[in-house]
Amino acid sequence: MGETQGPRWKRALIKLSGEALMGAQTHGLDPVTLKRVARDLADAARLGVQIAVVVGGGNFFRGIQGADKGIERARGDSIGMLATVMNGLALEHAIEQEGHPARVLSAVPMPSICQSWSRQVALAHLAKGRIVVLAGGTGNPFFTTDTGAALRAAELSADVLLKATQVDGIYSADPRKDPRATRYERLTHDEAIEKRLAVMDTAAFALARENALPIIVFSLAAPHAIPDALLGRGRQTLVAPA
């Protein structure tokens, strides 16, 4: 992808996994990684882009893991939603430590801790230049945070959905396991679904397709990764309408 002079997107939603916040640790939050991601988000907002973030909870608990502990899926997903709120609060604080205002909105109401999700409230925060951290998934079990990210991006009329991963784009197979895997520069939503590419679940790709929402998949590992993704710099894969 060629470098652009400035961000082509006015409003972006960034999907961060919980695992992205734990650094080299086996679980929980890594302070150095949290600070780096918060700085990236603040720098992205300073480009003049309105930034919303959907954060996962896999560094603490993923609902699907509950089955291994004898926990039914619906209850496990509820625990996972609480994990995303913990990450959201930590990310909100880290962003504000970088000198940029942020607000957590949770799809699971807990007004003594943070604001409840509302499209109108989120849009008002974005208009004031605040980074909006969206936690609690969709508020329902059986929906991944990838699907939640596509849903919130559509609700907020985002221009683009950025999916931060551990690799620099979408590959034909997991490049960490298959050295023959090839990276795609650009795909359509239909191609991503037909090829069953596992970087996002099918429901998320389908929701993005229905709303003509472009998706950029990039690696979060490099410094300045989020601003660079918005500027079209570095290696990334664009999923866009045909």
At residue 5, the pLDDT reads 67
Is the whole model's pTM more than 0.75, yes or no?
yes
Mean pLDDT of the residues in the chain: 93
Instruction: Provide the b/e sequence for 66-93 (b: ≥16 CB within 10 Å).
Output: beeeebeeeebbbbbbbbbbbbbbbbbe
Rounded to an integer, what distance in angstroms lies between the CA atom of residue 178 and that of residue 172? 9
pLDDT value at 2 more than 60? no
**Mean pLDDT of all residues in 200-221:** 95
Extract the tokens encoding 98: 């970088």
**Selection from 185, 180, 168 nearest residue 219 by Cα:** 168
Higher-pLDDT residue of 80 and 5 is: 80
Tell me the C-alpha to C-alpha distance, in Å, between residue 241 and each of 160, 161, 205, 210, 214.
Answer: 12, 13, 11, 9, 7
- Partners of 135 in the beta sheet? 106
At residue 234, the pLDDT reads 87
Cα torsion through 187, 193, 194, 198, rounded to 10: 90
Domains along the chain?
A: 11-240 (3.40.1160.10)
For 121-132, the pLDDT digits (tens) are: 999 999 999 999
